[in-house]
Amino acid sequence: SQPDRVREPDGVQWIDDTHFAIANEGDMDGGARGMTIFAKDGTELFETGASFEHAIVQIGHYPDRRWDAKGVEPEGIEFGVFDGTPFVFVMAERASVVGVYDVSDPAAPVLKQLLPSG
């Protein structure tokens, strides 16, 4: 993430009554390429920064030809609860993966796994 670049949110999803998450597609000039969680009042609580792309590189799904454009291009975001645990699912279009984050603490999500999406 580059603080001087604007986000380009492609997806927005409520986590609960007071928090929402956005998928940051990024733009040609840089910007965010992951997910950001905000409080309802717009306060930023969490930003994946480069950690989402780094995790994708580690499993061998990073689209090398995209590094200077929009990277993994997070396009969508969904929310669900499984066995009482709230999760956010971040879809990376160009990397063909879904990042699964435990958002029990919206200010400190934990990347639980990356799932190939084809």
Sheet containing 110-116: give its strands across.
74-82, 85-92, 97-102, 110-116
Per-residue pLDDT tens over the stretch 41-99: 999 999 998 898 889 889 887 666 655 556 677 889 999 999 999 999 999 887 789 99
Q: Angle at CA 96, nearest 5°, toward 93 and 102?
A: 90
Q: Are 19 and 101 in contact, with CB atoms under 8 Å apart? A: no
Q: What pTM does this model have?
A: 0.85
Question: Which two three-digit tokens encode residue 91?
Answer: 């879809």
- Would you state the pLDDT for residue 63? 61
Question: Which two three-digit tokens encode residue 26?
Answer: 């990024």
